[in-house]
A = this chain, B = another copy of it.
């Protein structure tokens, strides 16, 4: 992760509403909160201070799972092509290659998507980037350059993602290693059972590279039911064995939505003990990990947009506050504490899963925040106000969805 531009200028914000409902004045220097004090409501505010007038202040949203290399957002509309029969990852990857061959340059598409996300308030992100025998390291090289270009605006972690499998796509293990050397922060994986047909072989490569390069792991796992659960058990066991607690995530983990309450309780204990985080985008017509039960068990559950208008589906708006709404809506979260939990998944829990330093509205934390009109977090989650100002290190960088300057 890169640091935001340190900015020696003093920024003062008056009458910020905190999550507890109180009003506070915020002082920022060198990109961090230096003081958070009860609102003074002075008759003559200090010159240059910005009056937030009771707007709710939330830490920058954490986009925990996105694909910067494959979206067509801002490019021409590409109608979704259905699989011949049912859902087939290999066929979808083939459609993706066809679509990408006709698309606008990747750099441009990635920038469109990044500005969509930043404009809504995401200031930290984990993006998977495709690595395989066909595209080699081309996607990684492009997205590394895009990350560099945006480093003052958003912190981006990159996962070297074996989109075509590891054992299925010869040379991929070496390419993943090369991607980590180039600057990827984590090594990815993809359905070790259903895609590569070899759980042990796939995980040997993934965890072998993680150990060799000292990086984290984030594995795409769509496999359902007991098969998916078996793979999660294997991932948790390897995480514990390597002392990688807190550095491993399973994305999607649909299996956790399929199993009985008893089995889930055991899985939750195992995930909490091994420090393996679970990422979900709260899919629309698919079982997904039970957010409340997993959180109660002590599991870090975080969220991401996943695909945004790409070859996998046409949905996605890059708004992690709207994602919190969907997490809540799909989970049957109605009470205030539940709506707060939905928000936590898109913010603090994401920061924990990504291992972010200096996250939150707190003295010493990075002054990366979003101001919007809501009385409190539950209202923000149900209303999803579109009017927002996004601050990076205390500097306004986006307003109402559009980048400033």
Contacts and interface: CB of A to CB of B under 8 A. Distances in A.
Interface string A347-385: 000000000000000000000000000011011001110
A334 B317 contact: no
A285 interface: yes
A336 interface: yes
Interface string A97-111: 000000000000000
Report whether over half of chain A's contact residues are helix, strand or loop; otherwise say mixed: loop
A112 to B, nearest CB: 13
Interface stretch (A138-146, A191-199, A324-332): A324-332
B77 A329 contact: no
Contacts of A332: 284-286
Interface stretch (A4-12, A260-268, A307-315): A307-315
Interface in A74-114: 77, 79-82
A26 interface: no
Interface residues of A, number: 33
Given A382-B314, A386-B386, A335 B79 contact: yes
A82 B285 contact: no
Given A335-B82, A339-B314, A386-B386, A330 B285 contact: yes
A81 B376 CA distance: 17
Contacts of A336: 79-80
Contact of A382 (B315, B328, B329): B315
Contacts of A334: 80, 82, 313-315
A286 B285 CA distance: 11
B315 A284 contact: no
A340 to B, nearest CB: 11
Interface in A267-303: 284-286
Contacts of A317: 383-384
A285 B338 CA distance: 14
A373 to B, nearest CB: 13
Contacts of A375: 77
Nearest to A374: B77
Contacts of A383: 317
Interface in A123-166: none
Nearest to A327: B284
Nearest to A313: B334
Given A77-B376, A81-B335, A317-B383, 9 more contacts: A79-B378, A80-B334, A80-B335, A284-B332, A285-B330, A315-B325, A315-B334, A317-B384, A386-B386
27 contacts: A77-B378, A79-B336, A79-B378, A80-B334, A80-B336, A81-B335, A82-B335, A284-B326, A284-B328, A284-B329, A284-B332, A285-B329, A285-B330, A285-B331, A285-B332, A286-B332, A309-B382, A313-B334, A314-B334, A314-B378, A315-B325, A315-B328, A315-B334, A316-B382, A317-B383, A317-B384, A386-B386
